[in-house]
Chain A
Amino acid sequence: MNGTEIVGTLFREFPLAVYGSMLVGVSCAFLGVYIVAKRVVFLGAVLTQVSVLGLALTFLPVFAVPHTIGALAVTLVTVVIISRMLTGKKTPRDSVLGVVFITSVTARILIMQKTPKVEAAEIENLLRGDILFVTPELFQLMTGAFVIAMAVHLLFYKEFTFITFDPETAATQGYKARAWEMVFYLIAGMVISFATHMVGDLFVFGFLVVPPVTAMLLTRNVKLIFAVSVLIGLLAPALGLFLAFVFDVPASPAIVGVASLVLGSAWLWSLAGRAER
């Protein structure tokens, strides 16, 4: 098969995989700019694991609810609990995130031990990411989450900017810094929950970090940072899927690999620019 035929096959046979991965890529790349700016990159890794724990819980008879509902509920409850701790000063942020991360992973492993073998394998599939088998329902949920996230962030751009840059001064101007932080983390939790269910934790965490960092290496204009990050979130999944098909490798690692190659190139470019100056 040549390149055109592969692209044709991808769009014909796996349209939701193509559009879904681009949708997740754009959503995570956009939110990731704030996550990198807030220095809570590990939050992405933590919430993906919390979301997977929520999925795993739904395999237990006592929590027999739809996977998406389970993942979303557990993620949002966790967000509410940890957002106060993240904005407080009593416990360091990385310690809070570390505790939640290890608790989630541990709980998931224990739950998997108590589920039938077939279901444990299904949970593992969710972890690795099953991009090629995105369901229409999940795609619609992710689209809804994307629209909500973009709408809230565009409508309240000023508030999120101020709270992210200098929450102390924002509070003196009457902004409820903790409430805005909570809104941000709830939206991030919702997107991460659906996205993890859809494409797996590797893809989601990768796109919360790699495109924003790449954009920050390439430009010092704030609007361009968002634009470049989103552009990488849009194009890298499409190219990654194409390469996964060509080289017969798993989709998620191929997609994150493409984004990482772009990051590496951006880093070399910024080094060269610095050397010239």
Chain B
Amino acid sequence: MILFDRVTLGYGRKVILRDVSFSMQSGEYFGLVGPNGAGKTTILRAILGTLKPQAGTVTMRGPEGRPLRFGYVPQRDSIDSVIPYAARDVVMMGRYRDIGLLRLPGNADQLAVMHSLRQVGVEDLAGSVFRDLSGGQKQRVLIARALASNPDVLVLDEPTNGMDLASRVAMLDLIDTLHSRDHLTVIMVSHLLDDVANHARLIALVESGFFQVGPVGEVLTGENLSALYRTPVQVNQVGARTVVTVGVRNERH
């Protein structure tokens, strides 16, 4: 589905990541993890096709050989709307590619917008002004917009950033549901290790000069994370959950 073969990425003459290779199949839940500024968004842009590799090849193949369709959910703080678009207007933007040039949205597009809002549980917010919504509500509307574009792959950039615990859990549950119920391939970028550790199946650890990819259980180890963050990190199992702790705790006797 997605194949990176010895890909070098950067901007201008600056190289961010060198010789990155990995592949991802349809139906995967893929997490990209690393410190801020490590190059996660750079890889994301290469996957989305908005950044061309400086070297190597990126191959994308959708179902039946057609091009892959991505539904992109940007960091919600990157959207600073002066104009008071309603949530349904924002979701409609996801339909624009299929509507095409010089054509207006039709009934089918309106229905698709409402269906997408229903999928993420905010149908009642269709008429609300997007910029007035809470962080969690905005994130759901942006996911609805991505779904409205009929994607093969849902790509989320830091979807839980800045959320309180309850909103964060609800957001991750929603992404899990879209992955399992609607069979969507998911790519999620996060600097929050716990988010990825307990939801993704495939994980890539990203840092300048360090790129490792594989199943969560194999890659998400204390040794790898300690090297990545240059600080002692422990990975523990608490019940069915993976818990990542940073630093060495002094034990009391």
Contacts and interface: CB of A to CB of B under 8 A. Distances in A.
Interface of A: 33, 36-37, 39, 155-156, 158-159, 161-162, 164-166, 168-174, 216, 220-222, 225
25 contacts: A33-B83, A37-B82, A39-B82, A158-B93, A158-B96, A159-B101, A161-B89, A161-B93, A165-B81, A165-B93, A166-B93, A168-B78, A169-B74, A169-B93, A169-B145, A170-B93, A171-B50, A173-B149, A216-B82, A216-B83, A220-B84, A222-B83, A222-B84, A222-B85, A225-B84
A159 B99 CA distance: 11
Given A37-B82, A162-B96, A222-B85, 20 more contacts: A36-B82, A39-B80, A39-B82, A156-B101, A164-B83, A165-B93, A166-B78, A166-B79, A166-B93, A168-B50, A169-B72, A169-B145, A171-B50, A172-B49, A172-B155, A173-B72, A222-B83, A222-B84, A222-B89, A225-B83
B11 to A, nearest CB: 10
Interface residues of B, number: 28
Contacts of B80: 39
B83 A37 contact: yes
A209 to B, nearest CB: 12
Closest 9 CB pairs of A and B: A172-B72, A220-B84, A172-B48, A173-B97, A37-B82, A37-B83, A158-B96, A171-B50, A162-B93
Given A172-B70, A220-B129, A165 B97 contact: no
Contacts of B97: 173-174
Nearest to B99: A158
Interface of B: 48-50, 70, 72, 74, 78-86, 89-90, 93-94, 96-97, 99, 101-102, 129, 145, 149, 155
Contacts of A169: 72, 74, 93, 145
A39 B83 CA distance: 11
A221 B89 CA distance: 11
Contacts of B86: 222
A161 B85 CA distance: 10
Contacts of A155: 102
B90 A159 contact: no
A164, A168, A173: which has the most chain B beta carbons within 10 Å? Answer: A173
